[in-house]
């Protein structure tokens, strides 16, 4: 049944009829309000225009009357009626006119003109010389008047001020009846101000015009050169002004025109308001009223729609109530869970068929009104078939107590092995709703999930999580009993090779067989776990209270595992031989973190790896100390780089004649707590952690900066500096670019920089070495092979390398004169260098005998403690100064 058809059509029609009535009322009221507001707006504008015209007429009459009085008084002021034109003194007359004109701020000037238009006197500073340019015909019009009357000219542009002005004039008679004209110049702007009076009426248009329509003044101002004639005349316009359809005087739009005559020469003042301007405010009101009406209409429609929705829901509710009984019965019958409803007296009200399937023995007992206690009594015979009556009664009382306490949820195990989850919820009237849900499959799944969470799916051995839990329990038990256990950490040697060559399936077969063999090597109470990959852990419980005996037993187990796992494996069609590396540590006697124990066994296992694999090694605390110390040293080195704790010492290199020809830059570490640290204590760690790269770059830059500082000092500018380059640093792709960049940035002379490379470094990748050395040789950098003679490779590569120097290793120098073979090697190196035109220098020279033998063999460059130890920069510069002083003294001697 559709929602729209649930409410009777008669009711729906009634609702929509009410909505239509309300909407019509709102629209009618809104229309009345809009019309009334329009009429009010027009009436207000008409009243404003009428008041304005009345005020403008009075103001303009006052202003023109003041000017008229000023002009008329000229006769009496100058005594014109009793004087002749020749009697008038222009200067005296101009002065009097000036005094009179100052009293009227609207007047620009007042002038007295004769009948020909010549200026006889003027209030202007020009006096008689003032040129008055009246509009054409205005002078004649003034003089033609039968009676002396004030006339106003059309607006013109003043030649003197370039403003729009009008002229006001009347004629006066002299003693001889000749006529003169008194004229005043008025700015149009001043008259416009008088006309508008500062009123602000929207759209107002004001005009001063003659009866036939000639426009004299207007606001807004019209700038025509000649005064236009407005059409139609005001007398005609007045007939249509009442209905706001008359054309306004300036723009011609339909609107209201109000006018009044003034005192002078048939002049009219008009005020026009366009209908659009008068209704501008009304439009805002109209829109607001329309919006409000629309809002009310929408609200009425929404109310009608909601009312129909409400009626539809009521109808639907009636249908739903009619169907609820059948639906409830169907739901109870189809529920997966058993269902039982009790009243407040704990009597049976209702149940479903699933309840009878769970408890089939109650099928013939259940009846409405049956006490729940009777249900429990019947159930107790099946739950406790061998119990006594008292035991059954106690079980029933316990179950009733749970019901009264409303414990909510609990589980019940049936004799058939099924698990039933019972949920009890109170009803509002005090009864109880009890559901019985079979959770047997859920509990089985939970057990399977737990197995997956704690056991390795490949080998079915305990995983890391279960191992850690058992280790904690074993350590706690060991603390209580005093018994020691052991932990064996096992890793298969070269397992990755098998995976990569034969595939993961073969690798998984090996792991399963290893797991099986490990379980055969230990007791039932011991634990064999797989951590992941090819790593296994064997935990041996309570071996002995004596730690040595426990260690001996653990060693026997470990050796047994070694023998077992060394037996070849059959993996499908292949036979594979695999060996383990086993690290062992004792556990127990005191609380120990499980993570630390695993770490100890892991460290011991890696000790086996480093010693050749396929063996057993117990954890030595010294291993942990060494690893921790190494990690601490690496962190300190990192801090030393950022904290500028390194410094360079220089070991001088001497010629046989005593000259210092160069020095080797050697890094030293000025530790804030341990003082000066020699390179042997940290270079190895730096090379393994790759800190040697930024460290070597710092040595190179510092040495080049020193060469640049010596460049301007004659005592040091000849000194070469040798810098050791590590293999990691040299093999960087940007090594050449970084050396060139350092030389460019520091300004060091490249031929004074000597890079020392070890023999093993240059032999590692000869082609790459030659390419990089060749690039740097083009920049002038020199090269030396350090520790030469200690390698085992052929010396043929020397002919390909762009070398400058060979350095005889100190191990050969120490045995000169002691071991004949070392003398032969030294002679060979010196002879080879001479043939290849290379310099040769011996390091580690500590005795005069060694120096003498080397000189005898042809080596003339020496470095060693006999001549100078590594020293800070100040010490080297002191040696250089002393050598320079000795040389100077020898020259003078």
Q: What is the pLDDT of residues 188-223, one digit of tens each?
A: 888 888 888 777 888 888 998 888 888 888 888 876
User: Are residues 232 and 245 in contact, defined by beta-carbon separation less than 8 angstroms?
Assistant: no
Q: Are 342 and 425 found together in one domain?
A: yes
Mean pLDDT of 626-631: 66
pLDDT category at 433 given cuts 50, 70, 90 is confident
DSSP designation for 560: H
Kindly list the distances between the CA atom of residue 39 and the CA atoms of 50, 199, 200, 636, in Å, as whole numbers in the listed order: 16, 23, 21, 94
Coil/strand/helix, residue 864? coil
The confidence score (pLDDT) of residue 792 equals 46
The confidence score (pLDDT) of residue 329 equals 63
Question: Where is the domain boundary, 334, 351, 370?
Answer: 334
Coil/strand/helix, residue 208? strand
- Element (H or E) spanning 88, and its range? none
User: Are residues 489 and 601 in contact, defined by beta-carbon separation less than 8 angstroms?
Assistant: yes
Mean pLDDT of 696-706: 95
Q: Which residues fall within 8 angstroms of residue 416, CB to CB, at 6 or more apart?
A: none
Kindly list the distances between the CA atom of residue 787 and the CA atoms of 617, 758, 805, in Å, as whole numbers in the listed order: 37, 6, 11
Query: Nearest 5 degrees, angle CA 429-CA 431-CA 437?
Result: 135
Does residue 466 sit within a domain? no
How many other CB atoms are found less than 10 A from the CB of residue 681? 12
Strand order in the sheet with 246-247: 215-219, 205-210, 267-274, 254-261, 246-247
Mean pLDDT of 153-164: 83
Q: Are 248 and 168 found together in one domain?
A: yes
User: Are residues 249 and 257 in contact, defined by beta-carbon separation less than 8 angstroms?
Assistant: yes
Q: In terms of C-beta density within 10 A (0-12 exposed, 13-18 middle, 19 or more buried), how is residue 155 classed?
A: buried
User: Are residues 146 and 156 in contact, defined by beta-carbon separation less than 8 angstroms?
Assistant: no
Q: How many whole angstroms separate alpha carbon 173 and alpha carbon 411?
A: 136
Smallest CA-to-CA distance from 114 within 172, 69, 165 is with 172
Q: Are 651 and 521 found together in one domain?
A: no
Q: How many whole angstroms separate alpha carbon 340 and alpha carbon 355?
A: 7
Q: Are 570 and 667 found together in one domain?
A: no
The confidence score (pLDDT) of residue 796 equals 63
- Element (H or E) spanning 426, and its range? strand 419-426
HSE-CB at 104 with a 13 A cutoff on CA atoms is 26
In terms of pLDDT, which residue wins out, 50 or 86?
50
Question: Where is the domain boundary, 301, 334, 367?
Answer: 334
The confidence score (pLDDT) of residue 4 equals 44
What separation, in Å, do the N-terminal and C-terminal C-alpha atoms of the chain show?
A: 132
User: Are residues 115 and 143 in contact, defined by beta-carbon separation less than 8 angstroms?
Assistant: yes
Q: How many whole angstroms separate alpha carbon 586 and alpha carbon 601?
A: 9
**Token pair for 743:** 């030389």
The confidence score (pLDDT) of residue 649 equals 95
Query: Nearest 5 degrees, angle CA 159-CA 163-CA 165?
Result: 90
Q: Are 376 and 482 found together in one domain?
A: no
Does residue 298 sit within a domain? yes
Does residue 625 sit within a domain? no
Q: Across 280-417, where does the E strand assignment appear?
A: 338-342, 348-351, 409-413
Q: What is the pLDDT of residues 348-389, one digit of tens each?
A: 877 877 777 778 877 778 888 888 778 877 777 777 777 888
Does residue 626 sit within a domain? no
Q: Which residues fall within 8 angstroms of residue 679, CB to CB, at 6 or more apart?
A: 666, 667, 668, 669
Q: Are 222 and 360 found together in one domain?
A: no
Q: Are 120 and 253 found together in one domain?
A: yes
In terms of pLDDT, which residue wins out, 450 or 876?
876
Q: Across 126-253, where does the E strand assignment appear?
A: 151-152, 156-157, 164-173, 179-187, 205-210, 215-219, 246-247
Does residue 784 sit within a domain? yes
What percent of the chain is predicted at pLDDT more than 90? 29
Q: How many whole angstroms separate alpha carbon 33 and alpha carbon 289?
A: 8
**Token pair for 149:** 């009357």
How many other CB atoms are found less than 10 A from the CB of residue 771? 11
Query: Nearest 5 degrees, angle CA 472-CA 562-CA 492?
Result: 75
- CATH number of the domain bearing residue 287: 3.30.450.20
Query: Nearest 5 degrees, angle CA 806-CA 811-CA 817?
Result: 100
Instruction: Please state whether the predicted TM-score (pTM) of the whole model is above 0.75.
Output: no
**Token pair for 302:** 């929404």
pLDDT at residue 28 is higher than 80: yes
DSSP designation for 56: H
Q: Are 614 and 644 found together in one domain?
A: no
Q: What is the pLDDT of residues 468-517, one digit of tens each?
A: 898 888 888 888 888 889 999 999 998 888 888 888 899 999 999 999 99
Average predicted confidence (pLDDT) for the chain: 85
pLDDT at residue 240 is higher than 70: no
pLDDT at residue 335 is higher than 80: no
Q: Are 328 and 351 found together in one domain?
A: no
Q: How many whole angstroms separate alpha carbon 278 and alpha carbon 522?
A: 109
Q: How many whole angstroms separate alpha carbon 893 and alpha carbon 890?
A: 5
Q: Across 248-389, where does the E strand assignment appear?
A: 254-261, 267-274, 338-342, 348-351
Q: How many whole angstroms separate alpha carbon 253 and alpha carbon 279?
A: 13
Mean pLDDT of 150-164: 84
pLDDT at residue 411 is higher than 70: yes
Long-range contacts of 702-709 (CB under 8 A, 24+ apart): 702/648, 702/665, 703/648, 703/665, 703/748, 703/753, 704/742, 704/743, 704/746, 704/748, 704/753, 705/746, 705/748, 706/648, 706/665, 706/873, 707/746, 707/748, 707/749, 707/752, 707/753, 708/746, 708/747, 708/748
Q: What is the pLDDT of residues 267-311, one digit of tens each?
A: 889 888 898 888 888 888 889 999 999 999 999 999 888 888 888
Q: How many whole angstroms separate alpha carbon 588 and alpha carbon 541?
A: 9
pLDDT category at 325 given cuts 50, 70, 90 is low
Q: Which residues fall within 8 angstroms of residue 814, CB to CB, at 6 or more apart?
A: 844, 846, 850
Q: How many whole angstroms separate alpha carbon 384 and alpha carbon 494?
A: 61
Question: Where is the domain boundary, 575, 591, 619?
Answer: 619
pLDDT at residue 890 is higher than 60: yes
Q: What is the pLDDT of residues 526-543, one digit of tens each?
A: 999 998 889 999 999 888
In terms of pLDDT, which residue wins out, 26 or 322?
26
Q: How many whole angstroms separate alpha carbon 766 and alpha carbon 769?
A: 5
Q: Are 294 and 341 found together in one domain?
A: no
Could you tell me how many helices (H) and strands (E) the chain has, helices first? Answer: 27, 32
pLDDT at residue 765 is higher than 60: yes
In terms of pLDDT, which residue wins out, 400 or 746?
746
pLDDT at residue 5 is higher than 60: no
The β-bridge relationship of strands 527-532 and 246-247 is unpaired
The whole-angstrom distance between residue 536's C-alpha and the CA centroid of its chain comes to: 46
Peptide linkage before 232 cis (omega within 30 of 0): yes
Q: Considering only CA atoms, give the Rg of the chain.
A: 61
User: Are residues 865 and 871 in contact, defined by beta-carbon separation less than 8 angstroms?
Assistant: no
Smallest CA-to-CA distance from 466 within 580, 590, 594 is with 594
Q: What is the pLDDT of residues 120-144, one digit of tens each?
A: 899 888 888 888 888 888 898 889 8
Q: Are 300 and 358 found together in one domain?
A: no
Does residue 50 sit within a domain? yes
What percent of the chain is predicted at pLDDT more than 70? 93
Does residue 460 sit within a domain? no
Q: How many domains does the chain have?
A: 4
pLDDT at residue 627 is higher than 70: no
- CATH number of the domain bearing residue 886: 3.20.20.450
pLDDT at residue 659 is higher than 50: yes
Query: Nearest 5 degrees, angle CA 159-CA 162-CA 168?
Result: 70
Length in residues, the chain:
893
Does residue 469 sit within a domain? no
Smallest CA-to-CA distance from 148 within 59, 81, 194 is with 81
- CATH number of the domain bearing residue 531: 3.30.70.270
Q: What is the pLDDT of residues 861-872, one digit of tens each?
A: 999 999 999 999
- Element (H or E) spanning 367, and its range? none
The confidence score (pLDDT) of residue 3 equals 43
Q: Across 640-689, where does the E strand assignment appear?
A: 646-655, 660-671, 675-677
How many other CB atoms are found less than 10 A from the CB of residue 770? 15
How many other CB atoms are found less than 10 A from the CB of residue 51? 14
Q: Are 603 and 716 found together in one domain?
A: no
In SS3 terms, 840-869 reads as: EEEECCCCHHHHHHHHHHCCCEEECCCCCC
Domain that holds residue 318: 1-334
User: Helix H segments across 214-261?
Assistant: 234-237
pLDDT at residue 346 is higher than 70: yes
* Tokens 């086993």, residue located: 582
pLDDT at residue 2 is higher than 50: no
């Amino acid at each position: 049944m559709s929602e729209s058809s649930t409410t009777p059509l008669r009711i729906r029609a009634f609702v929509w009829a009410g909505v239509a009535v309300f909407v019509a009322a709102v629209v009618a009221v809104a229309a009345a309000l809009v019309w009334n507001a329009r009429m009010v707006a027009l009436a207000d504008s008409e009243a404003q225009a009428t008041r304005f015209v009345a005020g403008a007429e009075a103001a303009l009459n006052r202003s023109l009357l003041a000017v008229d009085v000023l002009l008329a008084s000229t006769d009496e002021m100058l005594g014109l009626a009793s004087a002749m034109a020749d009697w008038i003194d222009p200067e005296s007359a101009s002065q009097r006119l000036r005094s009179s004109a100052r009293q009227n701020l609207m007047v620009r000037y007042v002038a007295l003109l004769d009948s020909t238009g010549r200026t006889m006197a003027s209030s202007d500073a020009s006096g008689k010389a003032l040129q008055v340019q009246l509009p054409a015909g205005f002078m004649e019009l003034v003089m033609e008047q039968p009676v002396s009357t004030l006339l106003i000219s059309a607006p013109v542009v003043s030649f003197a001020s370039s403003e729009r002005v009008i002229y006001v004039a009347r004629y006066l008679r002299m003693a001889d009846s000749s006529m003169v004209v008194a004229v005043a110049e008025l700015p149009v702007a001043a008259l416009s101000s008088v006309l508008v009076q500062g009123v602000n009426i929207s759209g107002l248009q004001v005009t001063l015009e003659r009866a036939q329509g000639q426009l004299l003044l207007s606001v807004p101002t019209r700038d025509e050169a000649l005064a236009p004639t407005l059409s139609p005349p005001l007398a005609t316009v007045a007939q249509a002004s009442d209905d706001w359809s008359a054309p306004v005087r300036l723009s011609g739009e339909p609107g209201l025109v109000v006018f009044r005559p003034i005192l002078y020469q048939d002049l009219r003042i008009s005020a026009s308001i366009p209908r659009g301007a008068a209704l501008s405010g009304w439009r805002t009101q109209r829109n607001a009223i329309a919006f409000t009406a629309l809002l009310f209409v929408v609200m009425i429609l929404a109310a009608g729609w909601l009312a129909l929705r409400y009626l539809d829901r009521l109808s639907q509710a009636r249908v739903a109530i009619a169907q609820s009984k059948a639906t409830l019965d169907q739901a109870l019958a189809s529920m997966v869970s058993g269902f039982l409803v009790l009243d407040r007296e704990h009597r049976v009200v209702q149940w479903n068929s699933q309840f009878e399937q769970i408890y089939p023995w109650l099928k013939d007992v259940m009846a409405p009104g049956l006490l729940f206690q009777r249900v429990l009594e019947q159930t107790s015979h099946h739950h406790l078939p061998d119990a006594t009556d008292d035991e059954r009664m106690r079980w029933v009382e316990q179950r009733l107590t749970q019901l009264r306490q409303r414990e909510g949820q609990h589980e019940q195990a049936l004799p058939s092995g099924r698990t039933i989850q019972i949920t009890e919820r109170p009803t509002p009237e005090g009864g109880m709703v009890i559901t019985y849900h079979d959770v047997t499959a859920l509990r089985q799944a939970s057990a399977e999930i737990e197995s997956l969470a704690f056991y390795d799916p490949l080998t079915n051995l305990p995983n890391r999580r279960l191992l850690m839990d058992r280790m904690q329990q074993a350590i706690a038990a060991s603390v209580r009993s005093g018994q020691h256990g052991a932990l064996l950490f096992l890793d298969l040697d070269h397992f990755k090779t098998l995976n990569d060559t034969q595939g993961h399936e073969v690798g998984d077969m090996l792991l399963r067989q290893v797991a099986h063999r490990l379980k055969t090597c230990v007791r039932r109470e011991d634990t064999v776990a797989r951590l992941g990959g090819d790593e296994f852990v064997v935990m041996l419980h309570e071996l002995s209270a004596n730690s040595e005996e426990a260690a001996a037993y653990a060693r026997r187990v470990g050796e047994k595992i070694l023998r077992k796992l060394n037996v070849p494996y059959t993996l499908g069609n292949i036979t594979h031989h695999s060996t383990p590396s086993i690290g062992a540590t004792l556990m127990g006697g005191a609380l120990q973190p499980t993570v630390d124990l695993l770490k100890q066994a892991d460290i011991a296992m890696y000790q086996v790896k480093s010693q050749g694999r396929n063996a057993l090694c117990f954890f030595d605390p010294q291993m942990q100390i060494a690893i921790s110390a190494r990690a601490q040293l690496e962190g300190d080195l990192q801090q030393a780089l950022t904290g500028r704790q390194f410094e360079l010492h220089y070991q001088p290199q001497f010629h046989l004649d005593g000259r210092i020809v160069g020095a080797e830059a050697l890094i030293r570490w000025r530790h804030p707590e341990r003082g000066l640290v020699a390179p042997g204590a940290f270079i190895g760690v730096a090379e393994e952690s790759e800190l040697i790269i930024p460290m070597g770059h710092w040595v190179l830059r510092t040495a080049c900066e020193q060469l640049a500082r010596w460049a301007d000092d004659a005592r040091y500018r000849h000194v070469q500096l040798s810098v050791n380059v590590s293999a990691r640093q040299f093999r960087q792709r940007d090594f050449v670019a970084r050396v060139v960049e350092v030389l460019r940035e520091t300004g060091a002379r490249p031929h004074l920089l000597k890079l020392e490379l070890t023999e093993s470094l240059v032999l590692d990748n000869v082609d790459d070495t030659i390419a990089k050395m060749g690039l740097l040789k083009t920049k002038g950098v020199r090269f030396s092979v350090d520790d030469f003679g200690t390698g085992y490779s052929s010396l043929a590569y020397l002919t390909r390398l762009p070398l400058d120097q060979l350095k005889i290793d100190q191990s050969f120098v120490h045995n000169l004169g002691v071991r004949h073979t070392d003398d032969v090697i030294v002679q060979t190196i010196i002879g080879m260098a001479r043939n290849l035109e290379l310099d040769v220098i011996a390091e580690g020279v500590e005795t005069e005998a060694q120096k003498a033998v080397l000189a005898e063999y042809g080596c003339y460059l020496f470095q060693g403690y006999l001549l100078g130890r590594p020293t800070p920069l100040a010490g080297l510069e002191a040696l250089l100064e002393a050598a320079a002083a000795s040389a100077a003294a020898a020259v003078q001697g």
